[in-house]
Amino acid sequence: EINDNDEFFGKISPALMNHQQTGRDLIVISDWMAARFVRLGWVQEMDRAKQPNVAKYLDPQLRSPAFDEGRLHSVPWQSGITGIAYNRKKLGREIRSTGDLWAADLRGRVTLLSGLDESFALLMQGNG
């Protein structure tokens, strides 16, 4: 039901703005959207006593993001990096930098993730 952070925000925000139940106990969204929910006060503090594996196994680098100091309201579902995927055989050459994505023969053939946090940075890097 969550196809895109912004779409989901538009779907669920009317209920949350009016302090109504959403029928959800847990949602999985990107960090930048989780930051928005925390900032708006739309999340509850989690009971870590019922989540011993969070303290035991959570990577120290992920324990206290700026948007949720001490991870009181969130737990990362996954972490990783975004890359560039392409079929070298079909393209006939290597992509060596984000600037290569702006080649004339790729116009209309490049797709980005809808998450602004990753796509915007990629666009800026590609444009120098």
Q: Find the domain containing 98 and state its range.
A: 88-126
> Quick one: 51 and 105 in the same domain?
no
Q: What is the pLDDT of residue 114?
A: 73
Q: What is the SS3 assignment for the chain?
A: CCCCHHHHHHHHHHHHHCCCCCCCCCCCCCHHHHHHHHHCCCCCCCCHHHCHHHHHHCCHHHCCCCCCHHHCCCCCCCCCCCCCCCCHHHHCCCCCCHHHHHCHHHCCCCCCCCCHHHHHHHHHHHCC
What is the tally of structural domains in the chain? 2
Q: Is 83 inside any structural domain?
A: no
Q: What is the pLDDT of residue 108?
A: 94
pLDDT in tens, the chain (128 residues): 788 889 999 999 999 999 999 999 889 998 889 999 999 999 999 999 999 999 899 999 999 999 999 999 999 988 777 788 999 999 999 999 888 988 999 999 988 877 667 777 777 776 66
Q: Is 115 inside any structural domain?
A: yes
Q: What is the pLDDT of residue 107?
A: 94
